[in-house]
């Protein structure tokens, strides 16, 4: 299995743990991550938001090369992949990399459409982390704010100020939630919680009354926990996730803190739980689809 593991990003660690937990009863799963290339004999399963040029073309070129290299070592599948391509060079890299891929699934409709434009038919299933069993929810742990360093400094400062104002109005403490070491500077001025594992992050989110988050997997964990959330959609993958959730909600997920108090009402919570249950079943179906593909290789 190949992905951005072991670098402190809890979203990628949640993916690693999910695939190991769901595949290991039947298959031997060996994680591998950059900078190591996928040199062992396959099959290889790539997962995560690997096919994007939003951060840099260099990282995309690395993963495209890794996929092509792995294709020479055995069957290759891409499971629950996120795709966000803005440059012609990026599309060319991806098209060449996927030419010999035997299994292809994506986590959202924009990713599916991006690959369709390159001539590839991808199966569509929600991110596998959404398959997690909900934890007990307490909801007394205050307000959690997650920001990423790539957000403009003015937007980060405004988000912190508005979160503090909302916390004061609700009579609750505001704390930062770092899903990656890189998030800590973006939360300057707040007491910061840095969970060591995805399970610890889920426990913190389940104890919160409200989550305001930029990172995709912070929002996904909020949904798993049934904790109301406000999104700061810094990337297309976040907006795509919100559209999946909003089918059951009485109103769109807020992209700003105005009206966030409305999220604490019963109608919103019931809609959130309906979305969680639907996406959990669809994510589990996606995991089973990967199992079926792997069985054909045995």
pLDDT in tens, 226-269: 999 999 988 899 999 999 999 988 888 888 777 677 777 778 88
State mean pLDDT over 49-74: 94
- Residue ranges of domains in the chain, CATH in brackets: 10-124 (no CATH), 143-279 (3.40.50.2000)
Tell me the pLDDT tens digit for each residue of 173-210. Answer: 999 999 999 999 999 999 999 999 999 999 999 999 99
Q: How many residues does the chain have?
A: 298
Rounded distance, CA 238 to CA 175, Å?
A: 21
Q: For residue range 157-172, what is the model confidence (pLDDT) as tens digits?
A: 999 999 999 999 889 9
Give the residue, 256 or 38, on which the prediction is more confident. 38
> pTM of the prediction?
0.95
**All residues at 6 or more sequence positions from 288 whose CB lies less than 8 Å from its CB, including other chains:** none
Asked if 46 contacts 63 with a C-beta cutoff of 8 angstroms, the reply is yes
How far from chain centre, in Å, is Cα 84?
13
Residue 259's pLDDT is 66
Asked if the model's pLDDT at residue 139 lies above 80, the reply is no
- CA 114 – CA 109 distance, rounded (Å): 9
Which range has the worst mean pLDDT, 41-50, 157-166, 249-258, 277-286?
A: 249-258
Residue 187: the pLDDT is 97
Look at residue 229 in the predicted model and tell me its pLDDT: 94
**Residue 267 confidence (pLDDT):** 83
Spatial separation of the C-alpha atoms in residues 234 and 126, rounded to whole Å? 19
Of 22-36, 190-204, 255-269, 277-291, the poorest mean pLDDT is in 255-269
H or E element, residue 211 = strand 210-213
């Amino acid at each position: 299995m190949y992905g951005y593991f072991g670098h402190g990003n809890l979203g990628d660690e949640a993916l690693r743990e999910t695939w190991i937990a769901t595949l290991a009863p039947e298959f031997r799963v060996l994680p591998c991550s950059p900078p190591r290339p996928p040199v062992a004999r396959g099959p290889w399963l790539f997962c995560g938001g690997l096919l994007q040029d939003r951060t840099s073309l260099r990282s995309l070129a690395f993963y495209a090369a890794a996929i092509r290299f792995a294709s020479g070592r055995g069957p290759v599948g891409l499971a629950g992949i996120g795709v966000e391509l803005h440059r012609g060079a990026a599309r060319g890299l991806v098209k060449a990399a996927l030419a010999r891929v035997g299994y292809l699934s994506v986590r959202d409709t924009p990713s599916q459409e991006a690959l369709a434009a390159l001539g590839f038919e991808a199966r569509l299933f929600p991110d596998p982390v959404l398959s997690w069993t909900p934890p007990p929810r307490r909801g007394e742990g205050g307000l959690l704010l997650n920001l990423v360093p790539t957000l403009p400094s003015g937007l980060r400062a405004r988000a912190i100020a508005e979160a503090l104002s909302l916390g004061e109005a609700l009579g609750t403490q505001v704390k930062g939630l770092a899903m990656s070491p890189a998030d800590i500077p973006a939360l300057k001025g707040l007491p910061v919680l840095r969970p060591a594992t995805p399970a610890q992050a889920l426990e913190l989110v389940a104890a919160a009354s409200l989550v305001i988050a930029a990172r995709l997997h912070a929002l996904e964990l909020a949904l798993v926990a049934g904790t109301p959330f406000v999104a700061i959609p810094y990337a297309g993958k976040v907006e795509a996730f919100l559209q999946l959730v909003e089918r059951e909600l009485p109103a769109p997920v807020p992209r700003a803190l105005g009206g966030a108090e409305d999220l604490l009402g019963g109608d919103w919570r019931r809609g959130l739980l309906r979305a969680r249950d639907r996406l959990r079943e669809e994510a589990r179906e996606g995991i089973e689809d990967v199992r079926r593909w792997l069985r054909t290789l045995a």
